[in-house]
A = this chain, B = another copy of it.
Amino acid sequence: MSRNGTIKETMAVHFEKVTIIGVGLIGGSLAIALREGGLCGNIVGVGRGVRNLDTAKRLSIIDSFTTDPAEGVKGSSLVVVAVPVLSTAAVVKTIAPALEKGCILTDVGSVKQALIKETEPLVPEGVHFVPGHPIAGTEDSGAAAAFSGLFRGRKTILTPTPGTDRAALSIVREVWESAGSVVVEMDPAIHDTVLAAVSHLPHMIAYSLVNTVADIDDRMGGKGGDILAYSAGGFRDFTRIASSSPGMWSDICAMNRDAIVGVIEDFQKTLEELRRSIEACDTERIIKSFERSKRVRDSIKD
């Protein structure tokens, strides 16, 4: 890799060979963005499923592929581990002996503390691990769903540790900026609380809401017909995330357990307060609560 500090904004970073482990929506989209940004020569894809890798090669997302992670990372100056959070450490353990000295290793996991704790000790001396998390995604998955604009205008959070090499951190920042992302550095613990609140909690609520409505439907035994037939656009928008991968979200629950349990408890208190206000017909309190929520929500651009 070469790095020219004087022309930082354009083509400051170049990797001869990049390895993407897990060529799904995130890994695949980053590969496309890296190539479009002119940041890399060769891109090697690594995965377990040959079919998905074949698709990725056919779509020119990657130049070649292998199902052997250690083989795949040989000679790479940038290795991106884009696998489910619970598998990241195992992948790093497998590739560790094959990583080039000076190589940059980064990930895209949506939980950082537990992942860093498991992964960082496995990274060999001379390899630079930079934990990262692009906040982007759709309900689709796999290489076929990948597109270069996925990260455009989206935040990517980098969570350096005391051991993180500053130069490597700066290079990973440029990689994500080149993909159109707005890069922010954050303490791993803060990251996990923030994501528990704005991402993990909504998913837990959406899953629970759909199950509750299904329970009510079961209980009504057809008296209300198929209750979901009466849901309008609001319910559909609201519960779309309940279609997300159960396996991926179960992993996230395991990896960010304490933060998730904490924000669920926060939410439970707020909902219980509202329930009591409704029960007591405390209109003033109800309106005050709805108005605050509307004010906060209206401040987010859609």
Contact = CB atoms under 8 A, between A and B. Distances in A.
On chain A, which size bracket covers the interface? 35 or more
Interface in A283-302: 283, 286-287, 289-294, 296-300, 302
Contacts of A216: 193, 197, 263, 266
Interface stretch (A61-69, A76-84, A96-104, A245-253): A245-253
Contact of A198 (B228, B292, B299): B228
Give the interface centre of A238, A261, A299 by most chain B CB atoms within 10 Å. A238
Nearest to A231: B198
B198 A213 contact: yes
Given A227-B194, A230-B135, A278-B264, A209 B199 contact: no
A137 B137 CA distance: 28
B270 A212 contact: yes
Contacts of A201: 209, 212-213
Given A155-B230, A201-B212, A238-B240, 8 more contacts: A186-B224, A201-B209, A210-B297, A211-B296, A242-B293, A247-B287, A253-B283, A260-B278
Would you list the 10 A-B pairs with minimal beta carbon distance, nearest first?
A: A246-B290, A198-B231, A242-B297, A207-B293, A210-B293, A194-B224, A208-B271, A212-B267, A234-B241, A237-B237
7 contacts: A198-B227, A207-B290, A236-B300, A238-B240, A253-B278, A253-B286, A268-B268
